[in-house]
Amino acid sequence: MADRYLSFTGTAPGRFLTRRLGLPQPAALRRWSPERPVLEGGLLLLAAGRSALPADAPDAGLPAVLARAGLGADTGRPAAVVLDATGVRDVAGLDEVHAALHPVVRSVAASGRVVVLGAPPDPADHHQAAAQQALEGFTRSLGKEIGRGRTVNLVRLTDAPSAESTLRFLLSPKSAYVSGQVVEVGAGQVTAPDDWARPLAGRTALVTGAARGIGEAVAETLARDGARVVVLDVPGAEPDARRVAERLGGTALALDITAADAGERIARALPDGLDLLIHNAGITRDRRLVNMPAERWSSVLDVNLASVLRTTDALLAAGAVRPGGRIVATASIAGLAGNAGQTNYGASKAGVVGLVRSLAPRALDEHGVTVNAVAPGFVETRMTAAIPLLIREAGRRMNSLAQGGLPIDVAETTAWLAHPASGAVNGQVVRVCGQSLLGA
């Protein structure tokens, strides 16, 4: 359903009226397209204190990595600002953060990016840990005030090359609805693709719940990036699944993901294995707990959580996810912040977060596979279109970008986590919510 308020605020009368009344003023977001794949404008690299990043070979240092991010021609206003705050170790260093960004924030172009680079907090140095944790509060707060479709994110890293896929994503139109996030880039195998435009070439991706909605957008995006996609959905959705698969040059797999042997059946259907396992299938059965029968509770937990646990365990045990593979599960801000009438859904999505945080280090050590999650907020789908008008409008406006996201926003984030160069991104739960004003 079209966001008429967003369209209205893009007109001169709309801007005047909403400004006078103090109403939200969302800006139309710049998303990726083949015609406009990068942000137009220069990149401004700043520093707070002395960088803690290694001074590697010229082609592996931060300036070289940022140059490869590929922003468009300089238009006189920076499209992106990157602040290297990895060397901030005390409160005096935080003064340098203010001194660096205070003069330039207003000049960042609409739909521009601010990325703060931090270091992992040092458990042996509480002054450094305090200063680096302060960057998180700073980043989230700046994201809530910067406006005009601009985003602000924090990346904790120890070297620039391991974070290249992350920096490319956050400095591109693909991250239009990702703001106020903290991404930790740790250790892991990072494989630069031969072609950054088709990084998933030669890889096989299985996307559950892919016959429509967000799952369909994820399948489309992974196929765009070169993957051979297997579109999995319930038997009742097989016609739609086949339609999507045929359009993308992939295959359809009709299967009830809650079946006890679903993992084994997937492994048999893909005897050569898979590289990307995307858990997207999910349902809602909303009702307040006092009015929720056991069937509504158990069906949501079974589809959204138990099936993810069972199939992941089965596919890893069978060696069906090849080394260098990626598992990306779908959580939700309902699992992080809670939502009235969704105790079942919130429990299931919080369970996904627990799965990711526990499994990620072991899966990487034992199988060479990363495990991450995306946590969508208010995303414009057929489900949200059925929400009553006033509740729908509240959902759209209660984030820093003052609008709902699109399925492509979740898909682009999934594609970044699935990237071969994202091997150092593991155990992360990334909200795709325009920095929702609810929850962490």
177 is catalytic: no
- Residue 251 shares a structural domain with residue 324: yes
- Residue 21 shares a structural domain with residue 96: no
Residue 286, H or E segment:
none
- Residue 293 shares a structural domain with residue 366: yes
- 438 within some domain: no
Segment 74-102, tens digit of pLDDT: 667 899 999 999 999 999 999 999 999 99
- Residue 8 shares a structural domain with residue 39: no
Q: Band the pLDDT of 72: cuts 50, 70, 90.
A: low
- 342 within some domain: yes
Does residue 362 carry a pLDDT above 80? yes
What does the pLDDT read at residue 272?
96
- 212 within some domain: yes
Print the SS3 string covering 199-265: CCCCCEEEEECCCCHHHHHHHHHHHHCCCEEEEEECHHHHHHHHHHHHHHCCEEEECCCCCCCHHHH
- Residue 252 shares a structural domain with residue 343: yes
Catalytic residue, candidates 5, 138, 345, 378:
345
- Residue 49 shares a structural domain with residue 66: yes
- 195 within some domain: no
Q: Band the pLDDT of 73: cuts 50, 70, 90.
A: low
CATH of the domain at 312: 3.40.50.720
What does the pLDDT read at residue 381?
84
- Residue 396 shares a structural domain with residue 356: yes
User: Residue for token digits 């002395």?
Assistant: 50
d(CA 124, CA 43) in angstroms, rounded, equals 35
Which residues span the domain enclosing 87? Answer: 31-184
Instruction: Over range 333-344, report the average pLDDT.
Output: 94
- Residue 276 shares a structural domain with residue 360: yes
Instruction: Tell me 185's DSSP state.
Output: -
Q: Which of 184, 219, 237 is the last residue of a domain?
A: 184
What does the pLDDT read at residue 384?
78
- Residue 270 shares a structural domain with residue 313: yes
Segment 126-176, tens digit of pLDDT: 999 999 999 999 999 999 999 999 999 999 999 999 999 999 999 999 999
Instruction: Over range 402-428, report the average pLDDT.
Output: 98
Output 1-10 pairs: Cβ under 8 A, ≥24 positions apart: 1/380, 1/384, 1/385, 3/380, 3/396, 3/403, 3/404, 5/393, 5/396, 6/403
Number of domains the chain is built from:
3
d(CA 221, CA 198) in angstroms, rounded, equals 10
What does the pLDDT read at residue 60?
79
- Residue 148 shares a structural domain with residue 209: no
Q: What is the pTM of this model?
A: 0.96
- 191 within some domain: no
- 439 within some domain: no
- 189 within some domain: no
- Residue 41 shares a structural domain with residue 132: yes
- Residue 166 shares a structural domain with residue 212: no
